[in-house]
Amino acid sequence: MKFSLPEIHGADDSTTQQDTLLALDRVCVTLDQTPVVEQVSLQIEQGEIGCLVGPSGCGKTTLLRTIAGFEQPAAGSIAVRGQEIACSHFSESPESRRIGMVFQDLALFPHLTVAQNIAFGMGKAPSKEKSQRVEELLDLVGMQDYAKSYPHQLSGGQQQRVALIRAMAPRPNLLLLDEPFSSQDTELRVKLAHEVRDLLKRDGITAILVTHDQHEAFAIADRIGVMSDGRLLQWDSAWDLYHRPAERFVANFIGEGVFICGNTMHENQIQTELGIISGELSRHYKAGTQIDLLVRPDDIVHDENSPNKGTVIAKDFRGADHLYTLRMPGSTRVLCLVPSHFNHEVGENIGVKLRLDHMVIFER
């Protein structure tokens, strides 16, 4: 079983400037003399969908507003298609950037029809061009029959689609979405995220979404950035964030998992409470080094024949599966995903074994 330490992933310096639509270079933002965004660098390629996730107050919305032109960097620079649009001493006006934005409250005009709302986003474009674009976008979202309807006559999901295609109407260089699904329930948010991704891809729109919901991010984004305390910790694919987190915070924030203690041994072995794990270490550790090993629920396999027994201290029924929280004899707590026909009770001891396909280790 092979595993390696994660490498920090960021903007790809090998990408040609011609393909890069948006580039942030060490951007810092200060609000009321308080640093809110610090040293953020990232790139979005033409046609890509990016997403910023992180806890409330981590700076993701401020970063989005800075890209839009509503805030100015205190340091660093922002460029679109290789042309600088903002730095510490210069900031192109929001209306000059050809950047669209969809806000949390959607901001549809209640006195305008769906078609009029969409056309409003195109400003002073010729009437014929507006009509063609409105018809094209309504067809794209399957709402041709709602052109003359008013926002209050639409469902929440339909209002969401109208707000989106209104922002798409003028074919912006970049579309920014600030928690656009926050008013919807969890199931609908993920469904809408899939729909929005399909729409943006079909229309060739490059976009950045801000959300606190990682499932929403997984559903829509090509690249996801995890932010904490104003810093961009990792900018990567969902798969790499989950399996190759660059920092402990990313490992804790993305997915469900716990760290179990271990000690390195000779011959590339690690002693843990769940047994000895063998694998080729990518970095030399002296025998006896204390490490923390990230273990996800799908890394713990239910096996009644295993000598490793854990006590069920909590259970979460998820339909096809139970998510069990287990306390091991040495007080380590782990999560275990088990098919729901194995219906164990709290307080019951069950056998488990460790099966790690992708290992993440941090030296303690």
Tens-digit pLDDT profile for residues 41-79: 999 999 999 999 999 999 999 999 999 999 999 999 999
The answer to whether residue 5 scores a pLDDT higher than 90 is: no
Strands 290-295 and 360-363: antiparallel
**Average pLDDT estimate for 328-338:** 89
Total domains present in the chain: 2
The answer to whether residue 8 scores a pLDDT higher than 80 is: no
% helix / strand / coil in the chain, to the nearest 5? 25, 35, 40
Compute φ and ψ for 263, nearest 5 degrees.
Answer: -130, 135
Q: Please, which pLDDT band fits residue 117 given cuts at 50, 70 and 90?
A: very high
In a shared domain, residues 337 and 196:
no
| DSSP symbols for 142-204 | T-GGGTT--GGGS-HHHHHHHHHHHHHTT--SEEEEESTTTTS-HHHHHHHHHHHHHHHHHHT
By three-state DSSP, how is residue 254 classified? coil
In a shared domain, residues 197 and 297:
no
Euclidean distance between CA atoms 227 and 84, whole angstroms: 24
pLDDT given at position 361: 86
pLDDT digits (tens, 9 = 90+) for 266-280: 777 888 888 888 766
Residue 209 · residue 18 · CB < 8 Å: no
Residue 63 · residue 40 · CB < 8 Å: yes
Assign residue 312 the CATH number of its domain: 2.40.50.140
Out of 253, 274, 290, pick the residue that ends a domain.
253
In one-letter notation, the amino acid at residue 353 is K
Q: Which domain holds residue 324?
A: 258-363
Packing angle between helix 156-168 and helix 186-203, nearest 10 degrees?
A: 30
Packing angle between helix 186-203 and helix 127-140, nearest 10 degrees?
A: 130
The answer to whether residue 10 scores a pLDDT higher than 60 is: no
pLDDT given at position 102: 87
pLDDT given at position 210: 94
pLDDT digits (tens, 9 = 90+) for 146-202: 999 999 999 888 888 898 889 989 989 899 999 887 777 777 788 888 888 998 998
For residue 140, what is the enclosing H or E element? Answer: helix 127-140
Packing angle between helix 156-168 and helix 127-140, nearest 10 degrees?
A: 140
Out of 191, 224, 253, pick the residue that ends a domain.
253
Q: Which residue has the tokens 């959300």?
A: 211
Average pLDDT, the chain: 88
In a shared domain, residues 244 and 266:
no
Instruction: Give the pTM.
Output: 0.83
Residue 140 · residue 129 · CB < 8 Å: no
In a shared domain, residues 248 and 282:
no
pLDDT given at position 360: 84
The answer to whether residue 324 scores a pLDDT higher than 90 is: yes
pLDDT given at position 57: 92
pLDDT given at position 14: 43
In a shared domain, residues 276 and 226:
no
